[in-house]
Amino acid sequence: MSTINDVNICIATPNGSGSASANNILFKSIFKMGIPCSSKNMFPSNIQSMPTWYEIRASSAGFGSRKDVIDVMVTFNPETGASDVGKLRENGLLLYDTGACEESWLSRNDIQKIGFPATELSKQIPNAKIRSKLRNMIYVGVISSLFGISREVLIAVLRDTFGDKPEVIESNLMAIELGSKWVEENQVTQDICTLVTIEGGNKGKILSDGNTCSALGAIYGGVSVVAWYPITPSSSLAETMEKYLPELRMDEDKNPTYAVIQAEDEIAAAGIITGAGWAGARAMTATSGPGLSLMNEMIGLAYFTEIPSSYFIVQRGGPSTGLPTRTQQSDILSMYFASHGDTRHVILLPHDLQTCFEFSKLCLDLADQLQTPVFFASDLDLGMNIRPSEPLELKSPSLNRGKLIHEKDIEAQGNQFRRYFDLDGDGIPQRTIPGNQHPKAVYFCSGAGHNADAKRSEDPGDYKELLDRLLKKNHTARLLAPQPLVETSETSRIGMISFGSSVEAVREARHRMNQDGIKTSHLTLLALPLSPLVKDFIQKHEITLIVEQNRDGQVASIVRMDWPELAQKIDSVLVYDGLPVTAGSVHRLSMEKLGGKLL
Amino acid sequence: MSTINDVNICIATPNGSGSASANNILFKSIFKMGIPCSSKNMFPSNIQSMPTWYEIRASSAGFGSRKDVIDVMVTFNPETGASDVGKLRENGLLLYDTGACEESWLSRNDIQKIGFPATELSKQIPNAKIRSKLRNMIYVGVISSLFGISREVLIAVLRDTFGDKPEVIESNLMAIELGSKWVEENQVTQDICTLVTIEGGNKGKILSDGNTCSALGAIYGGVSVVAWYPITPSSSLAETMEKYLPELRMDEDKNPTYAVIQAEDEIAAAGIITGAGWAGARAMTATSGPGLSLMNEMIGLAYFTEIPSSYFIVQRGGPSTGLPTRTQQSDILSMYFASHGDTRHVILLPHDLQTCFEFSKLCLDLADQLQTPVFFASDLDLGMNIRPSEPLELKSPSLNRGKLIHEKDIEAQGNQFRRYFDLDGDGIPQRTIPGNQHPKAVYFCSGAGHNADAKRSEDPGDYKELLDRLLKKNHTARLLAPQPLVETSETSRIGMISFGSSVEAVREARHRMNQDGIKTSHLTLLALPLSPLVKDFIQKHEITLIVEQNRDGQVASIVRMDWPELAQKIDSVLVYDGLPVTAGSVHRLSMEKLGGKLL
Amino acid sequence: MSEAKEFLNRLNLAEKDYSGAPSTMCQGCGHDAISASIRKAFYDSSIDPKQVIKLSGIGCSSKTPAYFLGKAFGINTVHGRMSAVATGAIVANHTLLPIGVSGDGDTSAIGLGNFCHMIRRNLNFTYIIENNGVYGLTKGQFSATADKGTALKKGKINQNEAIDLCELAITMGATFVARSFSGDRKQLAPLIQAALAHKGLAILDVLSPCVTFNNHEGSKKSLKNIRAHLDPIHDIDFMPGAELIEVDYKKGSETEVVLYDGSIVTLKKLHENYDPMNKMGAILELNQAKTDGKFLTGLIYFEPNRPTFTEQLDIRGTALAYLPEDKLRPSIKHLDAINKKLSM
Amino acid sequence: MSEAKEFLNRLNLAEKDYSGAPSTMCQGCGHDAISASIRKAFYDSSIDPKQVIKLSGIGCSSKTPAYFLGKAFGINTVHGRMSAVATGAIVANHTLLPIGVSGDGDTSAIGLGNFCHMIRRNLNFTYIIENNGVYGLTKGQFSATADKGTALKKGKINQNEAIDLCELAITMGATFVARSFSGDRKQLAPLIQAALAHKGLAILDVLSPCVTFNNHEGSKKSLKNIRAHLDPIHDIDFMPGAELIEVDYKKGSETEVVLYDGSIVTLKKLHENYDPMNKMGAILELNQAKTDGKFLTGLIYFEPNRPTFTEQLDIRGTALAYLPEDKLRPSIKHLDAINKKLSM
Ligand SMILES: Cc1ncc(C[n+]2csc(CCOP(=O)(O)OP(=O)(O)O)c2C)c(N)n1
Ligand SMILES: Cc1ncc(C[n+]2csc(CCOP(=O)(O)OP(=O)(O)O)c2C)c(N)n1
Ligand code: SF4
Ligand code: SF4
Ligand SMILES: [Mg+2]
Ligand SMILES: [Mg+2]
C-alpha cells in the first residue's frame, strides 16, 4: 500500500564521501514541497570512510522523531550493505548501485529492489575529480523521480545551497539528472510512497539545528564572554557563535561586544567563564560529557562563591569517550551534582528549536539571578540534527541581571552592602562587580568558608548558614526556572514525563497508545530542580512513566530523592543505545511497563 | 559533682605554637593510665598562629566520639579566649595563663577558674629559644597535678615520644614540673574529675589514626603503585605509606616492591594508577574532594574500560576549598556517580582503625575482582584524629586478584579469551595484562564503545550490552562488598543507620536514647552499593534514621533511588558544621525527627 | 601632641591605604615581605586600589592578596587555575589593573599547562610567583621548583631538576620576565612597578623562603642559601610616567627601557653585555647561572610591543562587563533576517 | 605458482607481523605514513611485538596505535593524558617496551602540563607527536602548534605563536628530542629505531599533514609547505646493537652515538658544527630555523646517561605487576612490631 507523504528513507554511505551534501539537498527538497519532515544523521566518530546513515522522514501527520521502520534503504556503503538490507521493513525498497553491489544484499525476496548503475552513470561527469562525490547526487536524482520531487524544487534548493557558485549548481544538477533520466528511461516505479506538494506547507518555517538556535539564543541573550574547547557534539554550538557574532555584535566603532576564546582545555574554559562571571560579564562555555567531568572543580568554586556562569552541555554517549557521535541524556546527574561536596544545580532542558533559542538567554539570566552555575542541557540529536520549526521568536524583552548592584544602589540602601547576606529571604544575596567605586562595594571572593560579610571563616555556624542558604537558593530556583508544560486529559490514569530530544518521540508514542485505547497525560519537563507542578502531575496519576535516554533513569532518581512519597507512582522508560529515540521503542517499552501495572 | 575518669578537656591555642606536642603527651598519658579516651584536633587551614582546639575526652563508659560538653577549657589563645570561655559548661573549669589573660574572660561566675603564671614560669626555662614552645608543657604539668596524672606516667610517655633525645625529655619534663609544682605549692584543686589508673586498661591497645591504618592496610594489601598529590586531609595517608614502605616492602635484593609517585596534579595521579592498573599492578591514589572532582574523567575511563584502580578519599568540608581542615561526609554522591554518563561505583565505608586497615586491602581486592575503580571513603575525623583500638589484625589471608588470567589459564580454557565477555553471568569478564605471551591474550583497551571482543564498535546493540553488563557488575558488588553490621533488638521499632566517623557518636546517642526509654536497632553501613540487608533492616523497622555528616542526606538519597518503596520509612539526621559529630547532636536531632513520627 | 605628617602619593593616599587584612603567614615567611613590596609598589606608582583586581590560586602564597590593597576586589580561585580565571576576568574588564599571586606549586605543578597557555596569549597581567620550592600550605612536600639534591626536613632528597619558571616563561613567549628575592625590597618593588606598567604579561618569579618547611641545611631555597647565591644582573630603578612629566626626567643614565605609558625603567648593569631584550641571550644566561649555582635576579627578559590578549580580541572602550543591554542584544530586524535565511 | 619469498627479521618475523587493524584515517593522512614508519622501525629492529605496549590519547593520531603491531597490548586513554597513563603503565611493568602516539592538540593543549612533567621524570618511553597543527578529529580547529598567521579553511587566522614542542621538550629536560616529517620514511624510521633503543624519554615531533582540514593554501602545515621548507640537520642511520655483533660493525663514519644497548646511531652532518648533545646550541638552532621559516629535522638533542624514572625509583628485576603475593605482603611479624610500637 503506497502512502502519500509518509516515508522514511535511510541512506547508508561511508562518511566523508560527499553524501552529506546530497542528503541535505534531498531533505531540503522535501521540506520545500511543504511536507512535514525531519532528518537524523547517524555518523561515526571518524572523518572519512566509516559508516554513516542519514534518515529522512516525511510524515503527513507531522511527527518529527526518528521512525523505527525503514521504508527505503539506499545502500551506498559496501561495508554495511548486507546488514543494511536486513534493516528494511517487509516490502520496503532497496536502492543500490549495480556497479557496487554484492550478491548477498539481494537475497531478500520480501522487498522491492531497484538497482541503478550509479558508478557507470557517474563516468559521464566530465570533471573526474568530483565524480566520486557527485555519484551521491545520482541517488538524489533516482529518488526524486521515483517519489515525485520536481526538477524545479531541486533547482531551487541547489540555488539556496550553492548560491553564488553556478558551476557547482550545474555539476550537481547534471548528476541528479543522470539519476532521474535513468529512472524515466527505464520506467522504474515503486509503491512505497508518493511525495506530493502541500501548498503553504512549511510556509515561513525555518530549518535548523539546536546548536545553531542555542548559539543565536546566547547571542541575543547578551553573552559577552564565550570560552570553549572543541568537542563533539558541542563544537558546532561555539563555532556557530563565532560565525554569527561578527555580524550581530559589533558596536558603532566596529569593536566587538564579545570575546570568544578557544581555551587550551575545559578546565581553562570553565576558569575563564568563572573569572568573567566574577568580573561581571555574562559568560558561557559549551562542552560535552568529558569536558563536564573536567569542569567539576571549577563548577564547585562558582557554586560556593556564587559566581554566575553558564554551562551548555550537549550530551553524547558516555561514559568516558563512549560513543562521541551518538546521542544520550546521561549527564543529568553529573550536572545536577557537579563538584564534590553538597551541591545541587539548576538545569534547563530545551526540547525544540524555539526552546533552544529561548533557554539560552534564560540560562544567562538565571545564572545572574541565582548567582550560580546554570546548565543548559541539550544532546546530540537535538543539537545537531536538522529539523523544521516556526521562526525563532524573541520572547523575553530584556536581560535579567538579578541582584547585581552598582554605586547608586548601595547609596540608596544606606551605604550598606553585605555580599553574602540573605536580604530578601530567597537565599540570593546582592552582588557587586570589580570597577564599582563605592567604598562599601568591595569584597574578597573565596572558595574557602566565609561569612555573610565575605570574610573568611571556619566558624561552624557560619559554614552551616552558608550551606543552608545555598540550598534555599536552589529551592527558589524551583519556581524561577521554566515551569513544565502539562497536557492532562481528565480520563487518563497514566502520566508520561519526557524532556529534551525525547519529547517528540513521546508525542508520537502517546498518539499510538491513544489509538490502542490507552489515554495518557504528558508533562514536558523544562528544568531541574523539579517544579512543584511535577509533584502535582505525578500525584494526579496512578502511574507516571518517565522517559529518558539513559540507563539509570537519572531524572526518575531525582524525583525519588525529592519526593520519596511519590516513588511508587513512577516508573522509567529507558532508551540508551545511542540512536535518536523512536516512538516505537517508547511505545513498546511503555506498554511493557504498564502491562504489569494497569492493564 | 566530680567524676572518675569522665572529663572533656579542650585546649585552645594558636597553631604552630608547639601545643600539638604538649596535647599529644597529655592524651597519651591518660591512655597509658588505662583510661578509655579519645582526642579530636580541630585545626585551621593555616600553618601558624590561627586558632586550634584540641579536645581530650576520658570516658569511663568507653565512648569515643567528640563530647558535646566541655568540662575543662585551657585558654592559651588570646584571640579566641573570650568565646572559648563561653563554651564551658556550667561549673566547668577554666585554666588560663595569668600573664596572658583578658579581664573579659573572667566575667563568668558560674565556672571554676584557675589562673597560673605560665608565661612567668616559663622564664625559668634556661634555653630562651624553646621557651615559648615549652610554655605549653606547663599546662600539661598543671593538669597532671590537678587531675592526678603521675610523674611516672608522664616520664614514660616522654620517653616513648622522644626516645633517643634525652635533652628534649629533660626540658619537657622541667616545664611540666614547673606547672605541677605551682599547683602543689599553691594547693589548688578542682572538683571536675579525678583520673584514676585502671590496671590492665588499654592493655595491648594501640593509639593511631585512620590514615596510618589505611596506609598500613594498603601496604599489607599488596599495593605496588601509589600516585598522589598533596591535599589535606589525605596527604598523611600517602606520607605514612612513604614512611613505612621502605622498611616493609624491600625484596631480598633491597629493591622496593612498590613505587610511590608524587604526581604533578590529581589528573596525573588518577592517570598513573589507571595505567598501572591496566598493566596489572595493584594501584591506588589518595585525595580529598577537590582532587576527586578533577579525577572524574579518568574514573570514567577506568569504569568503562574496566581497569582496577583504588581511590582513597579522605573527605573534608566542601564544596570547593570549603573547610579544608574540617570533617564531612559530603563526597558520597560524587564518588557514587563519579564521571559523566551512566556510572555507579563501589564505595567502602570504614569506621574505625581496624576497618581502615582491613578495607584498604579489600579495596585493592575488590578493584581487581570487579575490574573497576573502587572508593575507600574516609574522612578527616576518622583519618587524622588519634584514637585507641585493639591491635590491627590481618584477617584475610591472601590477595584476591579476581579474574586476572595468565597464559596457562587461556590454554586451559581451550585457547580462548574474550576480554569483555560475561563468561560467568556476574557481569565480570576475564582480564589479561601486558606481558602475557599467549597469542590470544592481547586486546586493545579503549574508552570508546567496544564489543565483547574489545573491538571498537558503534553498534547500538554492542553499546547497550556493555552498559547493561557494567550495571550487572555493580549489582554483583552489592553482595561482594562487605555486608553491613546489624544490631537489632526485638522490641525496637526504630532503626538507625550510620557509617564512617559517625558510628561511634551514634553508639553513644543510642545509649542515651535507651536511657530515655527509646530502644533502637542499628546498622553500620560498610559499603555501597547497598546490600539487600539494608533493605531488610529498613523494612523491619517503622522508621529508620540515617545519620550522615552532610547537608543533603546523600546516603539516604541512594536508599530512595534504590528502593523507592521504602522511601517513606526513612528519614535523615544530618550534622554538617565541619566539627566531629557528637552524640549530643545525633541524640537531639534524632529525637526531633522521631517526635513527629512515633512518640 | 603633634601628629607625624603622613607621606602621601600623587593620589593623596598614604601607604596604609594600600594595606589589607592582617597576615596569617608564619612569622618570617618570605611571602609577607613580598606583600610589603607589592604595597610599596602600588603606593609608589600612585595606583588607585579601586582600579585594581587581585587574583590568586590556592596555597599560603595565594592567601596573601587578602593582605594587601584591601580596597581592591579580589578572588581566591582554585589550585593552579589563577591563569584561567584571570584570563576571563581581564577579558570581562580590561580597564582594570590586574595583579595575581601564585605559588610555585600552584604554577609549576597543577597549573603548569594553563600557565603556559596564558603566557602564549600575552594577557595584560602581572603574575607573581612566590617561589619557595615546596607546598607550604600542605606542609612542605617538594614542588616542581625544588632544586635537585635538596632535602626535605624529613630527609627525602629531590631527584628531579627544578623547573626554571623564568626560562620556561621566556620559551613560551612571555614579554616581561623577572626574578627577584622576597628579602630584596629595593630590587623587588621597582620590578613590580615596572611589571604593572608593562603592557602585556609580566612574570615575576620571586624567591620566597618558607621558614617553616624549607629553611634547613640541605635546602637550596633556605633564606641563608638564597642570600649567599644571589646574582643580580643590574640595579633597577623605576619612574612612573606621570611623575616624569613633573620632574622633567633627565635621560641618559645607563640602560633605559621606556614603557608604553611613558614610565622609565633604568637598569644599571652589573653583568657585562647583558641585554634583557635578547631572548637567546637571556636563556643562555639563565642556564649559566644554574650551572654556577646562582640565582640570577633582575629584569631578565623584556619585549615591549606585542599586542596583548584583549588587543588581539579587539576589545577596546567600555569593559564587556559594563556594556549596557542595547550593546549586548542584536536587533529584532537581524533576527528576522536570520529566520528568513534559515527558511530557505 | 611460486610464492615470493618473504623477508624475515632476526626474530623470523615478516613485516606483516607488525601490522594492525586497517586504518580509518582519511586517504593521504600523514598519520598513516607514520604508522608505516613505526611498523618498519619495529621490524628493522627485530622487536617482539609481545614485549611492546602501545599507548595514546584521543584524536585521529591517537587512534593509530590500533593500526600497527596488532600483537601488542594497547590502550587508548583520555584526551591529553597519555603521559600520565604511560607513567603508571611503565612503572607497573618496566620490562616492556612502551611506545606512545599523541596529537599536537592532545600534547600541546589539554595535555601540556602533564607532558612537561613526564619529561622531567625521564620516563623510559618513546613519545611520538603526530603534529598537524589542528584538531583533526573535531574537524580542524587550531591547536597550539598552529603556526602564527596560518589560516583555517574557513578563513580564521591564527594570532598566536606556535608552541615548538622540541624546544619546550629540551627546556624541560628531555633526553632525546627529534623532529621529522611523516613523508620522510628514510629519516623517520631510523629515528624511531633510535628512540626505541634510547634509555629514557624520546620525544619525536613528526610533522604530519592533515589532508582534510589543514592542507590548503595559507596553511603552513600543508604537505606542500612542509616539503618546501624541510631542513634536515643530518642524514641518519641506525644499527641495532644485536646486529652489530654479527656484522662486525666498522666504526669511524661521521658522528656516531652509541646507545646503552650497544646500538649505534650514525649522523651524517648537513648542518655545520651541529652538536646534538649541546642543549643551548640546539635551542639556538631551533630558534634560528623558526626565524628562517624552516622545519629543522633530525636528532636535535640527545643526552645519553640520565637515570630513567624507574631507575630513580630503584625498580629493577621482576615487574611490579608480576610480583607474587609473598613479595607484596609484609610478614605478620612486622605487623606485630608495628602494633607494639603504636601501643607505646
Ligand atoms: C585540586 C587541589 N589539589 C590539592 C590541593 C591542596 N593544596 C592546597 S595548597 C597546595 C600547595 C600550595 O603550594 P604553593 O603553590 O607552592 O604555595 P605555598 O603554600 O608554598 O605558598 C596544595 C597542594 C588543593 N587545594 N586543590
Ligand atoms: C576532555 C576532552 N575534550 C575534548 C575532546 C574532543 N577531542 C577529541 S580529539 C580532539 C583533538 C585532537 O587533536 P590532535 O590531538 O591534534 O589529534 P589529530 O586529530 O589532529 O590527530 C579533541 C579536542 C575529548 N575527547 N576529550
Ligand atoms: S608554611 Fe611556609 S610558605 Fe606557608 S606561611 Fe609558613 S613559612 Fe610561609
Ligand atoms: S581529519 Fe586530518 S588528521 Fe584526521 S584522519 Fe583525516 S587527514 Fe588525518
Ligand atoms: Mg610553594
Ligand atoms: Mg592534530
Write out pLDDT tens, residues C260-281: 888 888 888 888 889 999 999 9
How far is C174 from C306, CA to CA, in rounded Å? 10
Taking the Cβ of residue B17 and every Cβ of chain C, the question of whether any pair is shorter than 8 Å is answered with no
* Type and span of the H or E element at A225: strand A225-228
pLDDT at A50: 95
Decide if pLDDT at B117 tops 80.
yes
Verify whether the Cβ–Cβ distance B303 to A320 is below 8 Å.
yes
Ligand 2 centroid vs D137 CA: distance in angstroms?
6
The Cα B194–Cα B143 span in angstroms is 11
Query: Out of C139, C144, C212, whose CB is closest to B264?
Result: C144
pLDDT digit string (tens) for C103-125? Answer: 999 999 999 999 999 999 999 99
B39 three-class SS: strand
Residue pair B302/B277 in contact (Cβ under 8 Å)? The answer is: yes
Q: Which of A253, A298, A435 faces C321 most closely, judged by CB atoms? A: A435
Q: Each residue of A35-73: pLDDT tens digit? A: 999 999 999 999 999 999 999 999 999 999 999 999 999
Closest-approaching ligand to the CA atom of C222: 3
- Fold of domain D15-312: Rossmann fold (3.40.50)
- The confidence score (pLDDT) of residue D259 equals 83
| Residue range(s) in chain B whose domain bears CATH number 3.40.50.920 | 485-595
Return mean pLDDT, chain A.
96
- The predicted model gives D196-219 an average pLDDT of 96
Question: Which pLDDT score is estimated for C258?
Answer: 82
Give the Cβ contact number of residue D157 at 10 Å. Answer: 12
| pLDDT grade for C2, boundaries at 50, 70 and 90 | very low
Does D136 contact ligand 2 (Cβ within 6 A)? yes
pLDDT-derived band of residue C4, with 50, 70 and 90 as boundaries? low
Residue D1 has pLDDT above 50, yes or no: no
Q: Which ligand places an atom closest to the C-alpha of A48?
A: 4
Q: Considering only CA atoms, which residue is closest to atom 6 of ligand 4? A: D26
**Confidence (pLDDT) at C249:** 56
Q: Give the integer Cα–Cα distance in Å for D6 and B420.
A: 35
Condensed to tens digits (0 to 9), the pLDDT of residues A158-176 reads 999 998 899 999 999 999 9
Using CA coordinates, name the residue in chain A closest to B460.
A577
How confident is the model over D242-268, as pLDDT tens digits? Answer: 777 666 655 555 677 788 888 888 888
**How far is the alpha carbon of B37 from chain C, nearest alpha carbon, in Å?**
28
Point out the residue among B47, B230, B290 whose CB comes nearest to the CB of C141.
B230
Is B183:B147 a contact under the CB 8 Å cutoff? no
Chain A environment of C72 (Cβ under 8 Å): 442
Ligand 2 centroid distance, CA of D79 (Å)? 6
| pLDDT (tens digit per residue) in B350-367 | 999 999 999 999 999 999
- Tens-place pLDDT, residues D49-84: 999 999 999 999 999 999 999 999 999 999 999 999
pLDDT of residue D251: 55
pLDDT mean over B547-553: 98
**What are the residue ranges of CATH 3.40.50.970 in chain B?**
208-389
Cβ(B486)–Cβ(B534) below 8 Å: no
Q: Is the CB of B294 under 6 A from ligand 1?
A: yes
How far is CA A283 from each of CA A311, A347, B477, rounded to the nearest angstrom?
9, 16, 42
Residues with Cβ within 8 Å of B18's Cβ and at least 6 positions away in sequence, in order, are B132, B133, B134, B135, B136
Instruction: Indicate yes or no: CB of D136 within 8 angstroms of CB of A16.
Output: no
Please give the distance, rounded to the nearest whole angstrom, from the Cα atom of residue D61 to the centre of ligand 4.
Answer: 8
Binary contact (C113, D114; C-beta < 8 A): yes
Cα–Cα distance for residue pair B16/C274, rounded to 1 Å: 44
- A119 Cα–ligand 1 center, Å: 64
Task: Nearest by CB to B576, from A303, A464, A568: name it.
Answer: A464
Positive or negative, the CA dihedral B360, B362, B366, B368 is positive
pTM > 0.90: yes or no: yes
Q: Does domain B485-595 have CATH number 1.10.3720.10?
A: no
How far is the C-alpha of D27 from the C-alpha of D22, rounded, in Å? 12
Distance from CA of A345 to the nearest CA of B (A): 12
Q: Which of A45, A47, A231 to mutate to test the pocket of ligand 2 (most atoms within 8 A of CB)?
A: A231
- Tell me the C-alpha distance between D213 and D222, whole Å: 9
Interface membership of B262 toward C (CB under 8 Å): yes
The alpha-carbon gap from D115 to the nearest alpha carbon of chain B, in Å, equals 10
The model's pLDDT over D264-288, given as tens digits with 9 standing for 90+, comes to 888 888 888 899 999 999 999 999 9
In angstroms, what is the span from residue C106 Cα to ligand 1's centroid? 6
Q: Is the pLDDT of residue B595 over 90?
A: no
Residue D272: per-residue pLDDT: 85
Interface test with B, best of A294, A328, A342 (most B CBs within 10 A): A342
pLDDT of amino acid C248: 61
Instruction: Show me where the domains of chain C are located.
Output: 15-312
What is the C-alpha separation between B477 and D89, in angstroms, rounded? 26
Taking contacts as CB-CB distances below 8 angstroms, the residues of chain A near B550 are 342
CB contact under 8 A, D141 and A320: no
- The alpha carbon dihedral of C11, C16, C19, C25 has a sign of positive
Q: Which residues in chain A are contacts of B463 at CB distance < 8 A?
A: 317, 323, 326, 577-578
Name all contacts of B557-563 with Cβ < 8 Å and 24+ positions apart. Answer: B557/A561, B557/B333, B558/B332, B558/B333, B558/B336, B558/B528, B558/B529, B558/B530, B559/B530, B559/B534, B560/A560, B560/A561, B560/A564, B560/A567, B561/A557, B561/A560, B561/A561, B562/B529, B562/B530, B562/B535, B563/B530, B563/B535, B563/B538
pLDDT value of position C1: 41
User: How many other C-beta atoms are found inside a 10 Å radius of the C-beta of residue D50?
Assistant: 18
Nearest residue in D to A230, CA atom: D138
Domain B208-389 has CATH 3.40.50.970: yes
The stretch B206-232 carries a mean pLDDT of: 98
Rounded distance between C-alpha atoms, residue D302 and residue D285, angstroms: 14
Of D112, D136, D141, the CB nearest to A262: D141
Region A419-428: mean pLDDT is: 98
Which pLDDT value is given to residue B255?
94
Chain D stretch 47-66, residues whose beta carbon is closer than 8 A to a beta carbon of chain A: 58, 60
Q: Report the percentage of chain B scoring pLDDT > 70.
A: 99
Topology of domain B3-203, per CATH?
A: Pyruvate-ferredoxin Oxidoreductase; domain 3 (3.40.920)
Read off the pLDDT band of C332 (50, 70, 90).
very high
Is the C-alpha dihedral spanning A110, A111, A117, A122 positive or negative?
Answer: negative
User: Residue D109 gets which letter from DSSP?
Assistant: I
- Residue D38 beta carbon below 6 angstroms from any ligand 4 atom: no
- pLDDT for the residue C242: 79
- Cα(B57)–Cα(B388) distance, integer angstroms: 12
Ligand 4 neighbourhood includes D67 CB (under 6 angstroms): no
Most informative mutation of B15, B47, B232, B235 for ligand 3 (most atoms within 8 A of CB): B47
B50 C-alpha vs ligand 3 centroid, how far in Å? 13
- Give me ligand 3 centre to Cα C68, in Å: 17
**Residue ranges of chain A that CATH labels 3.40.920.10:** 3-203
Q: State how far the Cα of A240 lies from the Cα of C126, in Å rounded to an integer.
A: 34
pLDDT at residue A599 tops 90: no
Q: To the nearest whole number, what is the mean pLDDT of chain B? A: 96
Q: pLDDT confidence of D2, banded at 50, 70, 90? A: very low
- Asked whether the beta carbons of residue B460 and residue A578 sit closer than 8 angstroms, the reply is yes
Judged against a pLDDT cut of 90, whether residue C3 lies above it is answered with no
Cβ of D60 below 6 Å from ligand 4: yes
